[in-house]
Amino acid sequence: MDELVREVLGGREAWFVGGAVRDELLGRPVVDVDVVTRDPEQAARTYAKRSGGFPFALSEKHASWRVALDGNRTVDFTPVHGQIESDLARRDFTVNAIALPVAGGAHIDPSGGIEDLELRLVRAVSESIFEDDPLRLLRAVRLEEELGFRLAPLTEELVRASAHRVSGAAGERVIAELARLGPHGYARLEELGLLSALGGSVDERLGRIDSPDYRLVAAFRERIFAFPISTSLRRYARALLRADPPPNDSPREIYGLRRATEPWTSDALAFVGAEDLTDAVEAARATEPTQPLVRGDELGMPPGPEVGRLLDRIAEERAAGTISTREEALELARRERKQ
């Protein structure tokens, strides 16, 4: 990706910036490349034509463009603000405020980012970075965890003092940052006062399942619905939150739990601290019939909620072992309708 950028922008003012420069200096894989240049749209369209990628406007407000490549790789082109040094001064952390001229030459590092890479520190470029964009409060913790770094002392003080601002970040961006955090990152958010400012907290449930969605529900519980989350995450959260530990591992109780929480029953068991029922759930899954004893149209009733209720009762009794044939299922339905 870098070589093609050099071919496309050869002879023009342009710099590699941000995480790509940082990760290359750290010897980490580089998946996304960021370039600042005087004409981002033209650069993006030319790069896309040469690479076979797809160009689109990333932000009309900021005149930024992105080229999407195969393998989930991207190249972003953004306008340079004044001179490159003034552009870097607008960035968040010193390790992300290093530029490398596309045409070749030494790194441009006005805020000491290379030294902070050696010291393994996340340091704010200026005291106003969290006022400019409160999402950077979460990004600071994410960088700590992803890179194995630590907040510089004065930057940590600034994070704590600015923690109340984090609720002002757009919900979609907050969820995207939180989804990249592991248990240590969540614990760090709580330590810095950021998690409580978002309405969350950490308890013993957090680390039971290694899943971004699980951690979101474990940290925020019912408050997760205040965020603009996907339909799939909403369904997952509802399943975990309506789970109740069954009093025993009888087939009837396991059926009721699974009916309320599948296909996420295993995660729900962890959420409510009932992992000892995992074997019973797995056994029920392995022996679950592939076909129902009866269909709704065989009950002699018009379609409606009552048909669904009777089919659920038949399935429950079948799971409990009290019925096993079509005739027994129909008899159960007749008895239920008389009540």
Side-chain-side CA neighbours of residue 175 (13 Å): 18
User: Which residues, in sequence order, are CB contacts of 23 under 8 Å at separation 6+?
Assistant: 29, 30
Side-chain-side CA neighbours of residue 316 (13 Å): 14
Confidence at residue 71, expressed as pLDDT on a 0 to 100 scale: 82
Residues 206-216 pLDDT 10s: 999 999 999 99
Confidence at residue 339, expressed as pLDDT on a 0 to 100 scale: 65
* Sign of the dihedral through C-alpha 57, 81, 72, 1: positive
Domain boundaries in the chain? Answer: 1-116, 120-241, 245-288, 289-339
Cα 311 to Cα 125, 289, 314, 330: the distances in Å are 63, 14, 5, 10
pTM over 0.75: yes
Residue 27 falls in which region: left (phi positive, over 0), alpha (psi -120 to 50) or beta:
left
**pLDDT higher than 90, residue 108:** yes
Share of the chain above pLDDT 90, in %: 82
Confidence band of 338 (pLDDT split at 50, 70, 90): low
Q: CB of 246 within 8 A of CB of 277?
A: yes
Please state which of the ranges 47-51, 134-138, 146-150 shows the lowest mean pLDDT.
Answer: 47-51
Residues 27-56 pLDDT 10s: 998 888 999 998 999 999 999 999 999 999
User: Around Cβ 167, how many Cβ atoms within 10 Å?
Assistant: 13
Confidence band of 119 (pLDDT split at 50, 70, 90): very high
Confidence at residue 1, expressed as pLDDT on a 0 to 100 scale: 62
User: Which residues, in sequence order, are CB contacts of 265 under 8 Å at separation 6+?
Assistant: 243, 257, 258, 281
User: Around Cβ 153, how many Cβ atoms within 10 Å?
Assistant: 10
Average pLDDT on 67-80 reads 90
Confidence at residue 13, expressed as pLDDT on a 0 to 100 scale: 87
Q: Which CATH superfamily is domain 120-241 in?
A: cca-adding enzyme, domain 2 (1.10.3090.10)
Residue 181 falls in which region: left (phi positive, over 0), alpha (psi -120 to 50) or beta:
beta
Q: CB of 217 within 8 A of CB of 241?
A: yes
Q: Which CATH superfamily is domain 1-116 in?
A: Beta Polymerase, domain 2 (3.30.460.10)
**pLDDT higher than 80, residue 255:** yes
Confidence band of 266 (pLDDT split at 50, 70, 90): very high
Query: What mean pLDDT value characterizes the chain?
Result: 93
Residues 284-325 pLDDT 10s: 999 999 999 999 898 888 889 999 999 999 999 999 999 999
Same fold across 1-116 and 120-241:
no
